[in-house]
Amino acid sequence: MVRLHGRPHPRPLHPPGDPHARPVPREQGANGRRRVGGRLRSALGGSSFAAQVFVFQVVIVLLLVVSAVVAQLLQVRHDSSMEARNRSLAVAETFANAPGTVEGLRSPDPTAVLQPRTDAARTAAGVDFIVVMNRDGTRYTHPQSDRIGKKFIGNFGPALSGHIVTEQINGTTGPVVQAVVPVRAPDGSVVGAVSSGITTAHVGGLADQQMPLLLSSAAAALAVCTAGTALVSRRLRRQTRGLGPNEMTRMYEHHDAVLHAVREGVLIVGSDGRLLLANDEAKRLLDLPADAECRYVLELGLDADTAALIASGRAATDEVHLVKDRLLAINQRPTNLHGGPMGSVTTLRDSTELRALSGRAETARERLDMLYDAGVGIGTSLDVTRTAEELAELAVPRFADFVTVDLYESVLSGEEPQPALALCRVAGNGVRRDAPLYPVGERIRFVPSSPQGRSLATGQSVVEPLLGEATGWHTQDVKRTAQVLEYGIHSLVTVPLRAGSLVLGLANFWRSRRPDPFDQEDLALAEELVARAAVSIDNARRYTREHSMAVTLQRSLLPRTLPEQGALEVAYRYLPAQSGVGGDWFDVLPLSGARVALVVGDVVGHGLHAAATMGRLRTAVHNFAALDLPPDELLGLLDELVGRIDQDETPADRGTVVTGATCLYAIYDPVSRRCSLARAGHPPAALIRPDGTVEFPDVPAGPPLGLGGLPFETADLELPEGSRLVLYTDGLVEDRDRDIDIGLDLLRTALEEAGDSPEETCRAVLDRLPARPNDDVALIVARTRALGPDRVADWRVPTDPAAVSDVRAAVIRQLAQWGLEELTFTTELILSELVTNAIRYGRAPVGVRLLRDSSLICEVTDGSTTSPHLRYAASTDEGGRGLFLVAQLAVRWGTRYTPSGKVIWAEQPLSAPL
């Protein structure tokens, strides 16, 4: 089979542009049927090689046929003679030894006895004759009766001696093979002989039967040769793409011309390491001798690595070898991958100039990668120091061996840079930790002659390729600069961190291990890196300033201390969020009648807006609580306030700020031990009873503040003394990774395991939270106290002015029991004025109540909703001075409304503690 290692482009056998058309064979007619004669002519005349093969095959077939015929004839003759001899001998022996043969010879008429028997035996055995004779050779039997009684023709003498004779003679019918067998008497004597013969022509029909088969085989062989020749021709045409001898010759000439004209070296090496082919470019690149072909590669004078690669025959892809003054890219593949001969083909390409270009391209690619990494890796957090550290980590060791970042101290606190102040080294990174540069945290003032000083003064970058020759740099710190040079640091780039018109600090890039100094291309890369870092540092600075302002605002708005009151023992905690400032707040507000209000709230969002809104809501709660409103009415007023805040926002702010809040408001009365609660979209309060059981009271959940249009509901609870009421914001129970029900279950578990005091309860709850939660957490734990009957006194007052004196007398007696005689006069004046006004201007029923808590509280109730007002009375007025006296004698006084009327109250301080 012929293999072509280079395939030229054949002429198209189908119309151009038809991708699915199949080539039409030349011997195929228009109707698609193939012509056998055309195929044969193609096989014989289309290719000289196929025709030669066909003639050679025909000659071989003819020689084989002639040889087979001759051999067949000789074999037939031999086989016919052997068959005639064997059959004649078998018949003669059988008849000679047959019973009755001896008796027939001894009978008076042997012919009459033996002739019928010989005829029957001759017919049965298929021989030409059976002759029985006496010892004289006289025939007793013969197929022809005229031959009986005549002498036997042939050699029968040995038979008389007891031997068997077989011979071939020419008889009247042609060549005859006959056998003579003696006939022995019972005593062993020979009494005659039997001869049997057969003409050889009668057993030669086998040749006539085999000759047609032989000739048919010869014809079949010729047909196979013809078909094989046609297949070989078709295979050749397929492999050569229909090219004839002339076209193949022309293709080879072009292939050879291209092989030696191409500007890429080509080598073909045999399996034994000999060079079989080298084109002109390979000889030039490798400087091969003229007689290089057919020599071993290792003997051509090449360098050891290149020669070993070419001689090994292993696969190689773009391996670069230095051959004299050239860089050669070598590709090598074995030639036996697809059934080819053993060996390898090698291509050589001069890549000296390409390598220089690729080196510059690789440098550019590395710098682009560094800039991309800077865009992704610098500024991942809004922390000034961390952003500076990210710049230092990115540039070492890819760009510089050491990097330091110096910022103005005011930048670290979020303020604008102040050039009059010193810089602080906030970040440093290097290939080693023992560099004699200023350490992190050092406050530095650069002299004007130093590269850093010049960069700060001009706002431009400075390159010092050789620090040893930079005299201005030495004046910064003579001892330290000497240590830096001795350490091996030899080149510096200083780039200012610019954010608009502000210079936030400096970034310094140092080289020690890398011998090449910084150049202008390095300066451009350093400026690009620092520009990206400066934007992130400025963003972090602005965030730090805003965060500091928000924290300051929030801390100023949250209660710093809790007011004194005797109804509740309170402990609280506030945890800021992990990032940003939230709007969570809490308050403890003393109310009239020894009651205390507890409030927790949460403003949506984080930052300054949330903190400012929280302050407005907290102030509003203080004002509304001063009116002594029930919890549901107070939340209704807050809801209207939040709605107005939302309406006051500008259209631009509405796109970025979401106004909304949740709140829980509770009022506890230590006298009745009742607690009234209402909530607006806030998590429910938890209640720890004195026996340690924890429950979440069913308080109707109103809508969050700001939605408007829906009322709020109040739930009343009676709390045993010593119960703990737990109020909190959603940051305590809600998290991104868990449902609120899970958070409530965790809170329940923590409260069940907490100690008895509010402080221990706060500590147990917060121990289950992360150190920096995702949202703000406000927590209040209040343990209830009760004012017993020994500290409360009340009286019903008839609507008669004369009853005022009786009330005064009863109050004086109660004060004496409490040991508060020093308050008798002022209390008598206050009650007289308040009771007189209730009887005169109010409606029944009228009552008086005294409460002895941290202060003495006097309360007068009536069924009217008209509230008295404090005013200045003229000198000629008869009344109007009573409330003025009450305001002067009491620390606080006021009015609160009840479902059945109003209560006017006044508080007086106690000179002695309870």
Q: What is the pLDDT of residues 133-169, one digit of tens each?
A: 888 888 888 888 888 888 887 787 888 887 888 888 7
Contact present, 151 and 142 (Cβ < 8 Å):
no
Q: In the structure, what pLDDT confidence band is assigned to residue 914 with cuts at 50, 70 and 90?
A: very low
Type of residue numbered 648: D
Q: Tokens at residue 339, please?
A: 């059934």
Q: What is the pLDDT of residues 68-118, one digit of tens each?
A: 777 767 776 777 778 778 888 888 888 888 888 888 888 888 888 888 888
Q: In the structure, what pLDDT confidence band is assigned to residue 31 with cuts at 50, 70 and 90?
A: very low
Q: Does residue 655 have a pLDDT over 50?
A: no
Q: Does residue 14 have a pLDDT over 80?
A: no
Higher pLDDT, 367 or 570: 570
Indicate the range of 297-311, 615-629, 826-840, 876-890 predicted with least confidence.
876-890
Cα–Cα nearest to 706, from 636, 655, 656, 653: 636
Indicate the range of 461-475, 547-561, 702-716 predicted with least confidence.
547-561
Cis status, amide bond into 397, omega within 30 of 0:
yes
pTM, to two decimals: 0.54
Calculate Rg over the CA atoms of the chain: 65
- Rounded to the nearest angstrom, the gap between the alpha carbon of residue 361 and the centroid of all alpha carbons in its chain is 30
pLDDT for the residue numbered 680? 93
Cα 765 from Cα 695, distance rounded (Å): 15
Q: Tokens at residue 718, please?
A: 């009676």
Residues ≥6 apart with Cβ < 8 Å to 247: 240
Average pLDDT of every residue of the chain: 81
Q: Tokens at residue 324, please?
A: 């004299």
Cα distance from N-terminal residue to C-terminal residue, the chain: 123
Q: Does residue 304 have a pLDDT over 50?
A: yes
Cα 248 from Cα 780, distance rounded (Å): 101
Q: Does residue 23 have a pLDDT over 50?
A: no
Indicate the range of 200-204, 369-373, 739-743 predicted with least confidence.
200-204
Q: In the structure, what pLDDT confidence band is assigned to residue 48 with cuts at 50, 70 and 90?
A: low
Type of residue numbered 670: P
Q: In the structure, what pLDDT confidence band is assigned to residue 243 with cuts at 50, 70 and 90?
A: low
Q: Does residue 209 have a pLDDT over 50?
A: yes
Cα 783 from Cα 758, distance rounded (Å): 7
pLDDT for the residue numbered 779? 93
Q: What is the pLDDT of residues 763-807, one digit of tens each?
A: 999 887 765 667 788 899 999 999 989 999 999 988 888 888 888
Cα 724 from Cα 744, distance rounded (Å): 17
